[in-house]
Amino acid sequence: MNEAQDRYHRSATADAGGTAGEYGLSAGATTVSDMELAVEAERLVKQYRSRAETVDAVRGVDLKVGIGEVFGFLGPNGAGKSTTVRMLTTLLSITSGTARVAGIDVSADPDGARRRIGVALQEAGLDPRQTGRELLVLQARLFGSSAAHAERRAGELLELVDLVEARDRRIKGYSGGMKRRLDLASALVHEPEVLFLDEPTTGLDPASRLTVWDELRRINARGTTIFLTTQYLEEADQLCDRLAIIDGGLIVREGTPQQLKAELRQRRGLDTDPTLDEVFLDATGRTRERAAGEVQEVSA
Amino acid sequence: MSAVQQANILGGRSLREAWRTPEALAPTLFIPVFFLIVNFGQAGKIFPSDSTGFLHGQTYAAFQLPISLLLAASFGTAALFLVEDIEGGYFDKLRAAPVSRSALVLGRLLAEFVKSAAITTVLVIVALPFGVSIASGPVGFVLLVLLTSLWAVVFSGFMQLIALKTRSAAATNSGGLVFFPLLFLTPNFVPRDMLTRPMEIAATLNPVTYVMEAMRWLVLQDLAWEPLARGFGVVAVLGVLMVALNVRVIRDYD
């Protein structure tokens, strides 16, 4: 734990009369304790063991995401974001702790969890040799749709993400933005209850990013819970109802963007609300200079 | 949806992938044909059909055809496509779907079986002008296609194992080369009893020999139980082993 995190945790414990985790969840008016939960993780741990060493990628993460929320999961490179998401989406085994998604224990019933979640990971995972339509039809078939229903669903989704004209073109000819939108559509073929998006706008130009944001808002408006990891704090500020910041495999902040800004403003005695960037830098113990000059190895 | 249906769907996608990558498919046809022509051209006169007993009245190209078929069935492009899926993130998308883990690996093997059946048929047709005929008749031809395609499943299963373990195209390519000596430690130019003693021992210990001899029997002679049982026995045992190992690896895949 770095100095800033330590100061935050001591202050939080003293102010709230409880643990830092409790502080993070109860710092403002919004709590998740009364909500029905879409995602729930308790003491989630991931260790990578090799002959030479054991690496703790995630060191005991507790998360609660309410149904219908857009939840942002932030952190610097190698903090454990992607590892956590991969555990929650059944792609990675859990070393210890439990995770429930849409009420299903992901370790005990991975297929049950997979039926209820949609996943779009970093670097749009698409098959460049298929057409957009073929990819969506295949994905729908794998989720149990009949051939006719899969075709119909592919048509709906292509319309949703504005790719109708490109439907019969091979994906390798799509632009970065088109690929992202198709990836998003492929995560929605089975109308998931929870949508996991790992850095969905990384590498996109500003216009494409705004298009993806619009899609996410529309999807969320239909009742889908969104669990979003991002490195873009503006994105988190724009889209997320609540967010958590992870660093060194531990959650170091959690709350609504407004709560997190208000807490930092109060703690530092600032006249105006700080930006989410400043909250992030404070939470992760980084300074602007250090963050700009840092070269980190991504291990998650 | 059953695992078999899922494997069928994924197999269809793999076939589409192969069809849309002719640059990867072309060497699978070209190199075996090249070897057939070159080997026949070099040794055809040494082994004339009318005075070479082991040719059973056919040309030396008929003796060489099984080597070309085995070569065609031993290209590892399916595993390289799998590595591409892994590196590009599409494999994770498939893993995040409620798909039987076995179907994820069996789909590609199924596609490899179908692809190999088509390539074998094409290669047999290409060999016809060189005086080759399938002496065991239509049933023998079907068995020849079946045996070659099952061998393709064995080899692809082996390559897929390397791909899943290493997740690297370079390692998968190199791993495939380990298998190649086995293709040549066989009676590929003359029957086993005409090999030097050390070579005969090596060929006898090599399971690929029995697959090649069964294929050769189907090309040169009538149907016979014993050589076919040995050939199909080898692909059955190795096939079950490869599928079991693939399923085990995919279940533990993190």
CA of B159 vs chain A CAs: smallest distance (Å)? 20
Closest residue, chain A, to B86 (C-alpha): A125
Measured CA to CA, the distance from residue B94 to residue A294 in angstroms comes to: 35
Give the one of A115, A123, A141 whose C-beta lies nearest to B9's C-beta.
A141
pLDDT of residue B196: 95
pLDDT of residue A288: 62
B93/A139 touch (CB, cutoff 8 Å), yes or no: yes
Confidence of residue B176 (pLDDT cuts 50, 70, 90): confident
Confidence of residue A40 (pLDDT cuts 50, 70, 90): very high
Closest residue, chain B, to A147 (C-alpha): B9
Pick A41 or A208 by higher pLDDT: A41
What's the mean per-residue pLDDT of chain B? 94
Predicted structure pTM score: 0.85
B92/A129 touch (CB, cutoff 8 Å), yes or no: no
In sequence order, which residues have a C-beta less than 8 Å from that of residue A250 and are 6 or more positions away? A1, A59, A60, A61, A80
- Interface probe with A: pick from B90, B94, B101, B250, most Cβ of A within 10 Å: B90
pLDDT of residue A36: 86
Mean pLDDT of B112-127: 97
pLDDT of residue A35: 67
- Alpha carbon B133 to its chain centroid, in Å, reads 20
B96/A124 touch (CB, cutoff 8 Å), yes or no: no
Q: Provide the residue type at B188 as one letter.
A: N
Q: Which two tokens stand for residue A129?
A: 């040799």
Task: List the single range of A92-106, B7-21, B93-107, B175-189 with lowest mean pLDDT.
Answer: B175-189
pLDDT of residue A239: 94
CA of A109 vs chain B CAs: smallest distance (Å)? 10
A138/B6 touch (CB, cutoff 8 Å), yes or no: no
- Alpha carbon A54 to its chain centroid, in Å, reads 25
In this prediction the ipTM stands at 0.88
A114/B21 touch (CB, cutoff 8 Å), yes or no: no
Q: Provide the residue type at A230 as one letter.
A: T
Mean pLDDT of A272-285: 92
A83 touches chain B (CB under 8 A): no
Measured CA to CA, the distance from residue B177 to residue B162 in angstroms comes to: 12
Closest residue, chain A, to B81 (C-alpha): A127
Of the spans A124-128, A146-150, A235-239, which averages the highest pLDDT?
A146-150
- Closest of B209, B212, B211, B210 to residue B199, by C-alpha: B209
A142 touches chain B (CB under 8 A): yes
A134 touches chain B (CB under 8 A): yes
Confidence of residue B1 (pLDDT cuts 50, 70, 90): confident
B89/A130 touch (CB, cutoff 8 Å), yes or no: no
pLDDT tens for B196-248 read 999 999 999 999 999 999 999 999 999 999 999 999 999 999 999 999 999 99
DSSP states along B55-117: GTTS-HHHHHHHHHHHHHHT--HHHHHHHHHHHHTHHHHHHTSS--HHHHHHHHHHHHHHHHH
Residue A73 pLDDT > 60, yes or no? yes
Confidence of residue A248 (pLDDT cuts 50, 70, 90): very high
Measured CA to CA, the distance from residue A261 to residue A265 in angstroms comes to: 6
Residue B166 pLDDT > 80, yes or no? yes
**What are the chain A neighbours of B249 within 8 Å (beta carbons)?**
none
- Interface probe with A: pick from B6, B14, B92, B108, most Cβ of A within 10 Å: B92
B93/A119 touch (CB, cutoff 8 Å), yes or no: yes
Confidence of residue A34 (pLDDT cuts 50, 70, 90): low
B97/A125 touch (CB, cutoff 8 Å), yes or no: no
A89/B20 touch (CB, cutoff 8 Å), yes or no: no
A143 touches chain B (CB under 8 A): yes
CB pairs A-B closer than 8 Å: 72
B98/A89 touch (CB, cutoff 8 Å), yes or no: no
Confidence of residue A15 (pLDDT cuts 50, 70, 90): very low
Closest residue, chain B, to A137 (C-alpha): B9
A151 touches chain B (CB under 8 A): no
Closest residue, chain A, to B1 (C-alpha): A144
Q: Are strands A242-247 and A250-255 parallel, antiparallel or unpaired?
A: antiparallel
Closest residue, chain B, to A88 (C-alpha): B96
Q: Provide the residue type at A223 as one letter.
A: G
pLDDT of residue A209: 86
Residue A32 pLDDT > 70, yes or no? no
Sign of CA dihedral B104, B105, B111, B115: positive
Residue A25 phi/psi, 5-degree rounding, is -80, -20
A123/B91 touch (CB, cutoff 8 Å), yes or no: no
C-beta separation of B156 from B59 below 8 A: no
**What are the chain A neighbours of B20 within 8 Å (beta carbons)?**
129, 170
C-beta separation of B157 from B242 below 8 A: yes
Residue A160 pLDDT > 90, yes or no? no
